[in-house]
Amino acid sequence: MVGGRPLEGTVRISGAKNASLPALCAALLTEEPVRLTNVPEVRDIRTMGRVLTALGAAAEFRVGGVVDVHARQLTSVEAPYELVKTMRASVLVLGPVLAREGRARVSLPGGCAIGARPINLHLLALEKMGAAIDVEHGYVEAHAERLHGAEIDFDTVTVTGTENLMMAASLADGETVLRNAACEPEVGDLAELLVAMGAKIEGAGTPTLRVLGVPSLHGASHRVIPDRVETGTYIVACAIAGGEIEIHECHPAHLQPVIGKLREVGIRIEEGPDNLRVRAPRRLRAANVTTLPHPGFPTDMQAQYMALMTQAGGVSTITESIFENRYMHVAELERMGAHLRVDGRTALVTGPTPLSGAQVMATDLRASACLVLAGLAATGETIVDRVYHLDRGYYRIDEKLRGLGADIERIS
Ligand code: EPZ
């Protein structure tokens, strides 16, 4: 890609990866077919399809983001290491398979580029619901004749932990209360699907969730919410490259923490019910941010925000409170000329600094988006290696950016 071109035109947002992944797993809770629409055609979704198939479910990917899952009968209760190691969200089959079959064998995901990311809170909570859990040979072995309701207080807010337990509790005997639950819009979207399948859930989107278990769930159709992180990424793309764009088929209400911060640094953002008009300012202002669980500023926008702050006037501090190692993009941005200093969980960004195009290496999904954004502002050519990270969660980002006038192409 070659930077320096202002963006203009319209971009359409895809469905949310982090809402589609648990929704695909929820289909394991019923013998009836579940149809999901607006599912993004990104690599992680295909990986989850392979996990479902390994369990014996039929997962059919149709054109236009339609996925039909039919778990008539599970022929296995195992999520193998080969798949889980490529995508830790595979752990989301643990709750549904255990609740449905009374046992599950799921590979431990292991660490990842952004942090240790243990699943101890998932396991502790399932034990409270009566599961016998052993961890051996790199696998979680879980058994429970039938899970029962329980009072669960999460020590830390965990998104997939909340989702796993909400799914497990939907078929449990009695009521489960989840406290300090995650309030992310993706959790609310999963609850909407589960309720459409016959589950009894209250308080989704709040820190206290109540789930009254039912004997069985039925099929349903569900449209997945738009991707708020993809939306935020395109707002930053416009602000860092200059210009004015329209973002369609997004959901501004899910993005308020990001929109609020980006307005604070000077970006003009007009909101419609499912669209945004974004205009880049002549000068960006520096502003501090701390990543927090929703409705705080999302950690999945931290790297993109850092790229933006390299072009803002002044010093900004970015504090990453969710993951202990989510600054892998810093060294690559420095190779492009950015002035950054990391001290533990806090990064200090001094701007504005002109960025120069360079060959850079992506290390994880959001770090790779950050490097693409930096490339839009840089003089000369930027080559981002390992774009497979990008393809895990962004649908055709190169084509979408080219549609907005960016000089970007995919080279094999
Ligand atoms: C989800 O991951 C998202 N992934 C992540 O998005 C996102 O960064 C994260 O939530 C935070 O918003 C999906 O939804 C598939 P957590 P998750 O459990 O659920 C600690 C992306 O870029 N923790 O909320 O795995 C954990 O280590 C991805 O799309 C425990 O200690 O994150 C972390 O510090 C990256 N024990 C914190 O809690 C546990 O059992 C929050 O993690 C669980 C979590």
Inter-axis angle of helices 228-241 and 302-309, to 10 degrees? 10
Task: Please name the residues in contact with 195: beta carbons below 8 A apart, sequence gap of 6 or more.
Answer: 201
The phi, psi pair for 351, rounded to 5°, reads: -145, 180
Q: Using CB atoms within 10 A of its CB, is residue 284 exposed (0-12), middle (13-18) or buried (19+)? A: buried
Confidence of residue 238 (pLDDT cuts 50, 70, 90): very high
User: What is the pLDDT, as a whole number, of residue 303?
Assistant: 98
Distance from the CA of 300 to the center of ligand 1, in angstroms?
A: 10
The phi, psi pair for 154, rounded to 5°, reads: -75, 130
Q: Average of pLDDT values for 202-211?
A: 98
Closest by CA to 87, choosing from 43, 57, 140, 40, is 43
How do residues 262-291 score in pLDDT, each as one tens digit? 999 999 999 999 999 999 999 999 999 999
Confidence of residue 114 (pLDDT cuts 50, 70, 90): confident
The secondary structure of 267-289 as a DSSP string is -EEEE-SSEEEEE--SSEEP--E
Which of 16-25, 63-72, 110-119, 399-408 is predicted with the least confidence, judged by mean pLDDT? 110-119
Which of 254-258, 308-312, 324-328, 398-402 is predicted with the least confidence, judged by mean pLDDT? 324-328
User: What is the pLDDT, as a whole number, of residue 330?
Assistant: 98
Distance from the CA of 160 to the center of ligand 1, in angstroms?
A: 7
User: What is the pLDDT, as a whole number, of residue 396?
Assistant: 97
The residues pairing with 325 across neighbouring beta strands, listed in sequence order, are none
252 touches ligand 1 (CB under 6 Å): no
Confidence of residue 115 (pLDDT cuts 50, 70, 90): confident
Distances (CA, A) of 9 to 13, 15, 268, 395: 13, 20, 16, 18
User: What is the pLDDT, as a whole number, of residue 78?
Assistant: 97
User: What is the pLDDT, as a whole number, of residue 113?
Assistant: 78
Q: Give the ligand 1 atom nearest the CA of 298.
A: 12
Confidence of residue 112 (pLDDT cuts 50, 70, 90): confident
Closest by CA to 57, choosing from 36, 82, 86, is 36
More confident position, 226 or 109: 226
pLDDT at 412 over 80: no
pLDDT at 111 over 80: no
Distance from the CA of 229 to the center of ligand 1, in angstroms?
A: 14
Q: Average of pLDDT values for 216-222?
A: 98
Residue located via tokens 């200090």: 348
What is the C-alpha separation between 13 and 387, in angstroms, rounded? 19
Q: Using CB atoms within 10 A of its CB, is residue 334 exposed (0-12), middle (13-18) or buried (19+)? A: middle
Ligand 1 pocket test: pick from 117, 157, 319, 363 the residue with the most ligand atoms within 8 Å of its Cβ. Answer: 117
Q: Average of pLDDT values for 355-370?
A: 97
Q: Give the ligand 1 atom nearest the CA of 324.
A: 34
The phi, psi pair for 309, rounded to 5°, reads: -65, -20
User: What is the pLDDT, as a whole number, of residue 14?
Assistant: 98
pLDDT at 196 over 80: yes
- pLDDT over 70 for what percent of the chain? 100
How do residues 29-49 score in pLDDT, each as one tens digit? 999 999 999 999 999 999 999
**Summary count for the chain: helices (H), strands (E):** 14, 23
161 touches ligand 1 (CB under 6 Å): yes
152 touches ligand 1 (CB under 6 Å): no
User: What is the pLDDT, as a whole number, of residue 408?
Assistant: 98
Q: What is the mean pLDDT of the chain?
A: 97
The tokens describing 109, both together, are 């995901």
